[in-house]
Structure formats: structure tokens, C-alpha cells
Amino acid sequence: MNKNNNPYITEFRDKDKAQLLVRQIAAEARPEKRYRFMEFCGGHTHVLARWGLQDLLPENIRMIHGPGCPVCVLPIGRIDMALDLALNKHVTLCTYADMMRVPGSGGQTLFKAKAQGADVRMVYSPTDALAAARENPDKEVVFFAIGFETTTPPTAAALKIARAQGLKNFSVVCSHVLTPSAMTHIMQMHGKDAAPFLDGLVGPAHVSTIIGEKPYRDFVDEWNIPIVICGFEPLDMLMSILMLVRQVNDGRAVVENEFERAVPVDGNPTAIALMQEVFELREKFAWRGLGELAQSALKLSEAYADFDAEKRFGLVEHFVPDNKACACGEILRGEKEPRDCKLFGTVCTPIHPVGACMVSSEGACAAYFSYQSRNRG
């Protein structure tokens, strides 16, 4: 089937239905109110940019980009750990494509390290790293694992396979982070007594297929902020915005699920159980732009400690400040938009990125750069 004729795509890109939703949003958004909604998913940032949805909304509805890009929130210190492994520990380092281009200290990247002779390999999944370990029994193979709850179960599955197969030369640098913790921290930055920073949240899609609706309920109860879990198509986003507008107008704050076709209430219990078996909470973890957040990331559980590359190679994460001219941190906190950064589109481009927000396919800066000229035309 031609993907352009796939009803699961075309149905949610229908122009007439989109225009109807835009008119409905305009009719129900009250002129005297302001609506500030933050999306917590890099894919949603791209939906907004690609389809020019912000320009279709009333002026009093503002979409704010949050820390939803897994590559972007990883601090320079973690990148430097991977570089240390590749350049100084003489391991085979496997990771996802976007991580190859994120600058560490001094602008060094894993791509550059590879050019300098390090054995760095781009993989599509942790099982590719497992295959490398099996094929090279005399070489230490390390998987640099990153991402939110979406990519955590595959890492857990790979570790379980490695233990079952006795792969002693395989290990993982675990940099998996948790979405609800980031949501809470964004609110804590402003405090309950301050004027509301946000009026609602667009809940992530892929993450929610794993964790379901329940983890968001405590957040909603504590902060009295509505959440609507949203799909990836333009009609998904417009419908989710309308649902948030209606909650704000009614004075409600509940978790609603616009993406019911993919997100069950309980998420994926098998994946959740696997994560709970293989991982445990870190006491704290550093996020780019947000600082150290308590219980916001995962580490290998005691049962899988032998596969912890940080312990195996004595890795230490050092704090490294971001480039002062780069606004990636403020963008991740929702305080700036990409166009507010003086480097955007000049010194910093997808070909020569200065900050992580321009590197990743889910980064806000990459989204703006990719679609701004098209939408303006």
C-alpha cells in the first residue's frame, strides 16, 4: 500500500477536518484568557512546525516546547563519558545515529572520534550491539543507551539476553531518563505560589504507549494542570489543543487520552515489568538545561550490575557548562524559542550544530530550521 493512501495517515491529515478543528478552537478560546500549553515530545514539536499549526491558532494560544527530546536533554558530561570510552578505553562503542553528532567538550563528537580511529558504530537497536559483542568475543562492546521510557524496554531486553547468553564482553552506559520527573521539575522551577507558568500539557505519544495514563495522574492532582495525551498527526494535535482549551474553560484538570488508538490506560505491562526487573531509580541525574533532578533516571539493578559500563570502566561524569552563546538550555525549559537564539540558522545549523537542540531529529531547533522557510513560503 502506498503510504500516502494509508487511512491511518490520510484520515488524520484531512484538510477539511483540520479547518473545522481550527474554527472550533477559535470559537471556544475565550478572548480574555491566555492559554499556554507545553508539549513534552520532540515529535510533537515537529508536528507543530511541519504543518504550521501555531500560525493557525488564535493569538492567545501559545505552544511552548519542553524537554521532550532525549538527545537534547543529555548533558555534555555524559557525552564526554562516551568519548572517553571510545578514545581512551579502546572499546567498541555502539549508539544511535543522533548521538554521533552531539558536541561534547571542545566540540568533539563521536563522529570525529571515529574519524580519529576510535571504533564507534551507529546501530538501529541494542540487539545490533549484542551482535557486535557475539562477533567480537575478544573486544569489549559498550552500548551507549539513551532515551525516555520509549527506548528503555529494548535496552532492558538486550541486557536480559546478554545475561542469558553469558556475554561477558557486553556492557551498557545507561542514560535513560523519565518523563514525569521532567514535568514535575518544570513546574517546581516556578513554584505553586507563582503565577501559573503553564495552563496545560500535551502528553507524549510514544512514551505513553509504554507507561499509559496512570503516571500522569499524580502530577495532575498535585499541580492542577490538565494533560492530554496526543498522537503524531496534525489532527491529533489540533484535537488535543481543543481538549485542553475545554478543560481550561471548565476549570478541570484531568488526564485525557486523545491517542486512544495506540495508548492503553495501563500502557504496556510487559515492557513495564521488564524495565522494573532490569533497572532501578538513580538518586539523581543531570539534565541539560534543568540541572540535577532527583529520581529522574535509571541505572542497572543489582542483578545486572556486571553489565554496568560505568562501574566496569570506572567512568566519572564531570559537570561541563554549555556554550554560553547557545540557548539550548532555555529552549528546553520553555523560556525561549529557537529563533530567540543568536546562533540559530547562522553559526548553528543541522550541518554544523553548536547545541544538541539542532542535532537531533526531535530537537526544537532542527524542527524550526527544517520547516520555517517552507511554511513562510
* pLDDT tens column, 210-219: 999 999 999 9
pLDDT digits (tens, 9 = 90+) for 194-245: 556 899 999 999 999 999 999 999 999 999 999 999 999 999 999 999 999 9
374: pLDDT strictly greater than 60:
no
pLDDT of 181: 92
Percent of the chain past pLDDT 90, that is, above it, reads 89
Angle between helices 42-50 and 234-250 (to 10 degrees): 100
Choose the weakest-confidence range: 6-10, 85-89, 207-211, 326-330: 6-10
Residue 18: exposed, middle, or buried by beta-carbon count in 10 A (0-12, 13-18, 19+)? buried
Going by their DSSP bridges, the two strands 92-95 and 119-122 should be labelled as: parallel
Q: How confident is the model over 269-277, as a mean pLDDT?
A: 98
Q: At 121, which helix (H) or strand (E)?
A: strand 119-122
CA distances for 245 relative to 27, 225, 363, angstroms: 11, 12, 26
Domains of the chain with CATH codes: 8-377 (3.40.50.11740)
pLDDT at residue 126 is higher than 60: yes
Number of neighbours of residue 66 by Cβ within 10 angstroms: 27
DSSP 8-state symbol, 53:
G
State residue 10's pLDDT score: 84
Tell me the pTM: 0.93
pLDDT of residue 360: 85
pLDDT at 85 over 80: yes
- The CB density around residue 285, as the number of other CB atoms within 10 Å, is 25
pLDDT of residue 376: 46
